A and B are shown apart, each in its own frame.
Chain A
């Protein structure tokens, strides 16, 4: 029974990974792509790892999988945050159809 749950979780996780990659290709600029990649790939990978933990039951492999899942959950949004800030700082523009950019003012203030 836990096997089946594990395989379902892993499958759903891989599906999310695939959709995240499709978003990565289709979205127009760095920031939108980061949205797709961080959200879908974080959840997808965590689901795969939890699925592995379910399949193997209590033991060393599950412990490692869960630790990896927790680390991904903490580091992935932090990395996305750093990339977005870095992209903005190095002058990557928002997509031309973006509706608002309040951050531009803050950057001007810092430079002034």
Chain B
């Protein structure tokens, strides 16, 4: 089952990348090469797909994902303006440090999404995570080195959404 899903995904990406529909007809050479490549990928790498993949086929999760995308882009824009401001300011107002935060997310895909979201948003970069749910974050402007406080500043705003999407 997982192999089949992976095969379909790989084949869709192949079709979008090679686009075998030039001038109204389908180029079968490209399609057959894509089937072979997608088959090999599905057989060899199907274990990469998260174990709990079937739960993602639910309208509620898709809805929250669609809500999350604009929220995420708002924070990404804010992050960029923040970094640009710090990079261009003559005195360079940075106060960097590595802080520790705690996450309540349990699934692997949820924690991955949280770590990537943290990296792309205001002044924070995930350095490492531990098995018991702590993340080490490099923060360009440390506001608090307390675990609770830092978690509130960095992770809460994403966790709420990611919990609805991934758990």
Q: Tell me if A's interface is mostly helix, strand, loop or mixed.
A: helix
Interface residues on B, range: 35 or more
Say whether A54 faces chain B, with CB atoms less than 8 Å apart: no
Bound CA–CA A31/B126 (angstroms): 10
Most buried by A among B94, B123, B124, B138: B138
Say whether B142 faces chain A, with CB atoms less than 8 Å apart: yes
Which residue of chain B is the closest to A43 with respect to CB atoms?
B80
CB-based contact B115/A81 at 8 Å: yes
B103-138 contact mask (Cβ, 8 Å, vs A): 1 or 0: 000000000000110011001111110100000101
Q: Tell me if B's interface is mostly helix, strand, loop or mixed.
A: mixed
CB-based contact B127/A85 at 8 Å: yes
Bound CA–CA A67/B100 (angstroms): 34
Q: Which of B11-19, B32-40, B46-54 contacts A (4 or more CB under 8 A)?
A: B11-19
Bound CA–CA A84/B145 (angstroms): 19
CB-based contact A39/B136 at 8 Å: no
B98 in complex: contacting residue of A22, A35, A43, A94, CB < 8 Å:
A94
Which residue of chain B is the closest to A89 with respect to CB atoms?
B128
Interface residues of A in 73-97 (CB under 8 A from B): 73-74, 76-78, 80-81, 84-85, 88, 94-95, 97
3 tightest Cβ-Cβ pairs between the two chains A and B: A23-B87, A60-B19, A77-B119
- A interface residue numbers (CB < 8 A to B): 16, 19-20, 22-23, 26-29, 31-32, 34-36, 38-40, 42-43, 59-60, 63-64, 67, 73-74, 76-78, 80-81, 84-85, 88, 94-95, 97-104, 106
A–B Cβ pairs within 8 angstroms, 25 of them: A16-B80, A16-B84, A20-B87, A32-B96, A32-B138, A35-B123, A35-B138, A36-B87, A38-B120, A39-B80, A40-B87, A59-B19, A63-B17, A64-B17, A64-B19, A67-B16, A67-B17, A77-B115, A77-B120, A80-B119, A84-B126, A95-B96, A102-B99, A103-B127, A106-B136
